[in-house]
Structure 1
Amino acid sequence: MEGPMKAPPPQTHAGNDDNLIAGYDTNHNVDMERYQREVPLWKRVHQHSLTQMLFISVQAFCGPAIADAITGLGAGGLATPRTSNIRFAIETSIEAVFCLFGGVLVNMIGAKWGLVIGAISFPLFGASYYCNSAFNNQWFLLATAPITGIGFAFWNVAEGAYVMSIAPESKRGKYLALWIVSRNLGQLVGGSINLAKNASSDAGGGISASTYIPFIAIEALAIPFAFGICEMAHVVRSDGTRILTPPKLSHYDETKEIIRTYMTKVVYCCAIFIIWSYFYNGPWSTYLALYFSVRARALSSLISPFFCIIGCFALGYVTDLKGYSQRRRAQFGFWLVIILNTAVCIWSLIMQVKFIRHDPGPIDWSDKRYAAAFLPYFFIQTTGPLAQVYNYWILSSFAKSGQDNVRFSAALKCIQCVGSAIAFGVSAADSSPLVGMILNCALMLASIPGMWYITDHTPDRIPADVIAEEMEAEERRRREEGVEHEGLDKKDNTDVANVHAVTVLA
């Protein structure tokens, strides 16, 4: 690392704006000696990539995880799954529409404010189920679906961009594992509440209305952590680098970039895999609601996250393996996900066929059939999230900047919501989870050719990091030649980016 700079580098405003980071060595690296000397400790801690990932993880804990915990009660804890499935179909359809061009919206207002908008909508999710259970007003449950759909769209696009961008290259899998584990820790807390409130109910039906009150309180805690998020340009990674963030484009140009992103091979080859990785929620939630007692469903939301935590860190270890190229690690991770999910799908289909032939009624945890019936649900709650983590990891492997990750995140969430809407729509139309399970298996098989191609063409390193290093080297060369600190002009930046663009997937 070179010594402290005599002048701030271009487009960083070092020393002129207290809200920006002092001491960038170039557009990519941070002069850590100057940074530690000039920036207060509290701000360095706040801007650190791990701190920001923890802030995101807390929000994931309070928002999506609690929503998943409510879903984990089986149909949101309602006595019958139909209304909840209709609500999820509406919500995810609206979310898909807003995610379609969510990258434009998030890049316009900034990822931080996308997270704030989303966090404000979180408590409404739990409140809609509380009002349904306490006052039996299904209209409110359905009427709030578009609002929470829009809120989750903003939050998920911004969240995805953050988790795909802020990790150091060598720790990306572990950072993603930390994030997905936080979602499951939320389910763990939610499961504890569920079980405490419903431990005495060994029959079927809906859960106690008071169960939702702690959920609403936890969902509201996401709001202050959303305000604590830094913009991506201000984050300093643990390895002394920052996120490559080119100047913002006009709304028209950003829309063109979003459309271009949807047309890249990396997106449409991953599309079926993305749909499949979220499709399981519909049929398996219906499976839990139809065949298990209230307290057995509450127990499921408590114990389901445990193995997922182990599995996610195991996948993070595989995708961060030292001594292997990014392409080889992509192949290892993909086949690990497919093999595990294949085993769970076969087991689930066998159990569902048995239940169609002989309806078991509400299975309680004291029933001798409980273990065999519950384990397929338990394992799908592990293998499904593994596929979701892999989605973010593989797409971020192709990003050329932080803005690219916003666009990839918007595309991912849009496609994911389409899959979820179809899954819950199928579950609402068909009382048996069998059709949804068969579709889930078919989607998994159909996703293999496209993902096989993508993993075989994964770049050996993240393009954004390679581009940033080239920009740093060019800037250093200019300084050594005595050129004034004018930075790379637009043409220079474009030329460098084009050299390293993954053209085979463009």
Structure 2
Amino acid sequence: MAEARKRPTTAATESPAHPVEIKEVEIPPGWKYKSFKLGPITIPWYASPESQLILVSFVCFLCPGMFNALNGLGGAGQVSSNASLSAASNSALYATFAVVGFFAGTVTNTLGIRVALSFGGLGYCVYVGAFLCYNHTQNFGYIVFAGFLLGCCAGILWCAQGAIMMSYPPERLKGRYISWFWIIFNLGAVIGSLAELGLNINKSTNDTVSNATYIGFLVLTFFGACLSWTLVDAKHIVRRDGSKVILMKHPTWKTEILGLWETLRNDSYIILLFPMFFASNWFYTYQFNDVNLVRFNTRTRALNNILYWLAQMIGALTFGFALDTSSIRRTTRALVAWVIMLVLTFAIWGVGYAFQRKYTRKDTAPKDHFVYDWNSNGYIGPMFLYVFYGFYDAAWQTCVYWFMGAITNNSRKLANFAGFYKGIQSGGAAIIWRLDGLNSPPPYMNLFASCWALLAGSLVIALPVMILKIKDTVPVEEDLKFTDETIEEFIGHRIIHDSSIQ
């Protein structure tokens, strides 16, 4: 039998005042734990948090990434007169997602990461296929059904992804892991948008995207679902310091449902983050349907889409690495991030207010209403506004994930946090998509004002969590509230808490 190998590792504390220690840790035997060099770069072993995060990122690159590229055009690629199609489908999607999201932590912990992600990916294939089908059959019912099914699937996928992203990394690297994921994930939307632009570059009018666009997305989302099976179970993950991810052993449906309730009862402060969760997807409908779709022609919408998701990558990179600045205490970083988000909320959305004052639904009702082309005079200003909308979205999502990950390292609790996040987020999205798809929808300005007010108000409500619940490190005793099951899980395992290696 192969023996576990030992390797030296650097153990630095959170505070730069502490000396750096060199420790020897045991790494299990087997191909999953063998790293190798590629020139000057050391590739981490397969069952490391880094490798698994990259795989999960590419699953989301191919599934939600393509979904974002398609919806970023507004109307899921349909003309503005058919925007009610995507509104109806997405309303069903997010309404279902909101319900499934609350129990997604239970499902993910029970089924396991690979099954959850693969099941989630298949829903994106059906969603894209429904719009391809509509181009030929005009089957509205199938569009709504596809949204409903994707709501079930996406709730599970995003919960599994959130649990990995928040619980796999050590404390000092959580912001970077979030940014790495967000960059790769949004690269999918960028590449999808580039494909849209290439296939529709000659469409200077406001037309539906080509069938080839939908077919390409259908193939890519299917590959994403298949890629999920290359992941390893969380129990096999070993960090560089030799520590393992905190897990429950073989949970039952009963214990997991009780755990969901216990999270709300024992960690009731999470309710203060619920408004941030609710606001985090509310603005997509306004940006995609009420700005990009109605104010730009097909090829310019595709260009805007590319720039929007590129800005998301930059925002994730900027905030992810800034949130992990080890020379600044984590409690300080949390408060600084909160202040910066408040400033960005008033700066970017203040410019958005000035732009929104220039048009109404009545102005965009005629089929021949004025839309910007990238050659139009005055296009540059709205383009930069749309870019900053993308940057802001990545900053918001990165901060929310980092805030949750800074509260605890327990993967069971974080899976429930992620389920709450995606469920409440989707509840908000279901409402706003439905409002925008009504026969007599609210004025654009009303929807804009709701976005701005929700974002600013939710930041104020979340401030006590930043002040009272985020600590410089989370003691392992606080994460492990031992029950009979957890004791059995950890007998025979040496658990090295992150704070001992920072």
Same fold at TM > 0.5: yes
In the TM superposition, 1:57-456 aligns within 5 A as 57-80=57-80, 81-263=83-265, 264-286=267-289, 287-356=291-360, 361-429=370-438, 430=441, 432-456=443-467
1: CA distance, partners of 2:206 / 2:487: 67
Aligned residues: 456
User: Residue type matched to 2:451 in 1?
Assistant: N
Is residue 166–residue 409 contact of structure 2 (8 Å, CA) maintained in 1?
no
| Structure 1 pair 24–394 and aligned structure 2 pair: CA distance change class (3 A) | farther
User: Residue type matched to 1:427 in 2?
Assistant: D
**Mind listing any 5+ residue stretches in structure 1 that lack a counterpart?**
1-14, 472-486, 494-506
How far off is 1:341 after superposition? 2.7
Higher mean alpha-carbon deviation, 233-242 vs 450-459, is at 233-242
2: CA distance, partners of 1:428 / 1:175: 36
CA deviations over 1:391-423 (Å, ceiling 9, x no partner): 111112122511111111111111111111122
| Structure 1 pair 450–253 and aligned structure 2 pair: CA distance change class (3 A) | same
Is residue 282–residue 436 contact of structure 1 (8 Å, CA) maintained in 2?
no
* TM-score, with length taken from structure 1: 0.83
| Structure 1 pair 24–250 and aligned structure 2 pair: CA distance change class (3 A) | farther
2: CA distance, partners of 1:339 / 1:248: 45
Is residue 120–residue 220 contact of structure 1 (8 Å, CA) maintained in 2?
yes
CA deviations over 1:244-282 (Å, ceiling 9, x no partner): 113344322321221232343332100111111211111
How far off is 1:469 after superposition? 10
| Percent of aligned pairs sharing the same letter | 19
User: Residue type matched to 2:378 in 1?
Assistant: R
How far off is 1:24 after superposition? 11
| Structure 1 pair 433–99 and aligned structure 2 pair: CA distance change class (3 A) | same
Is residue 197–residue 208 contact of structure 1 (8 Å, CA) maintained in 2?
yes
Is residue 341–residue 384 contact of structure 1 (8 Å, CA) maintained in 2?
no
Is residue 32–residue 240 contact of structure 1 (8 Å, CA) maintained in 2?
no
2: CA distance, partners of 1:346 / 1:46: 46
Higher mean alpha-carbon deviation, 298-307 vs 412-421, is at 298-307
User: Residue type matched to 2:281 in 1?
Assistant: Y
2: CA distance, partners of 1:467 / 1:431: 47
Q: Secondary structure at the match of 2:46?
A: helix
1: CA distance, partners of 2:32 / 2:90: 44
How far off is 1:467 after superposition? 5.2
| Structure 1 pair 400–33 and aligned structure 2 pair: CA distance change class (3 A) | closer
**Mind listing any 5+ residue stretches in structure 2 that lack a counterpart?**
12-22, 36-44, 492-502
| Structure 1 pair 248–42 and aligned structure 2 pair: CA distance change class (3 A) | closer
2: CA distance, partners of 1:427 / 1:284: 12
Question: Residue 41 of structure 2 aligns with which residue?
Answer: none
| Structure 1 pair 189–411 and aligned structure 2 pair: CA distance change class (3 A) | same
2: CA distance, partners of 1:349 / 1:217: 39
Is residue 340–residue 383 contact of structure 1 (8 Å, CA) maintained in 2?
yes
2: CA distance, partners of 1:362 / 1:218: 31
How far off is 1:457 after superposition? 1.4
CA deviations over 1:70-120 (Å, ceiling 9, x no partner): 001112111131111111011010111111211211111122211121122
Match of 2:27 among 16, 32, 35: 35
User: Residue type matched to 1:261 in 2?
Assistant: T
Higher mean alpha-carbon deviation, 323-332 vs 386-395, is at 323-332
Is residue 195–residue 298 contact of structure 1 (8 Å, CA) maintained in 2?
yes
Question: Residue 46 of structure 2 aligns with which residue?
Answer: 46
1: CA distance, partners of 2:486 / 2:90: 48
Higher mean alpha-carbon deviation, 393-402 vs 194-203, is at 393-402
User: Residue type matched to 1:35 in 2?
Assistant: I
2: CA distance, partners of 1:462 / 1:259: 25
How far off is 1:320 after superposition? 0.4
CA deviations over 1:192-221 (Å, ceiling 9, x no partner): 111111111111132222211111111111
User: Residue type matched to 1:365 in 2?
Assistant: W
Q: Secondary structure at the match of 2:359?
A: helix
1: CA distance, partners of 2:473 / 2:128: 39
User: Residue type matched to 2:456 in 1?
Assistant: L
How far off is 1:235 after superposition? 0.9
Is residue 232–residue 402 contact of structure 1 (8 Å, CA) maintained in 2?
no
| Structure 1 pair 228–145 and aligned structure 2 pair: CA distance change class (3 A) | same
For the aligned residue pairs, the C-alpha RMSD in angstroms reads 2.9
User: Residue type matched to 1:128 in 2?
Assistant: A
2: CA distance, partners of 1:242 / 1:225: 24
| Structure 1 pair 238–135 and aligned structure 2 pair: CA distance change class (3 A) | farther
How far off is 1:447 after superposition? 0.8
Higher mean alpha-carbon deviation, 388-397 vs 258-267, is at 258-267
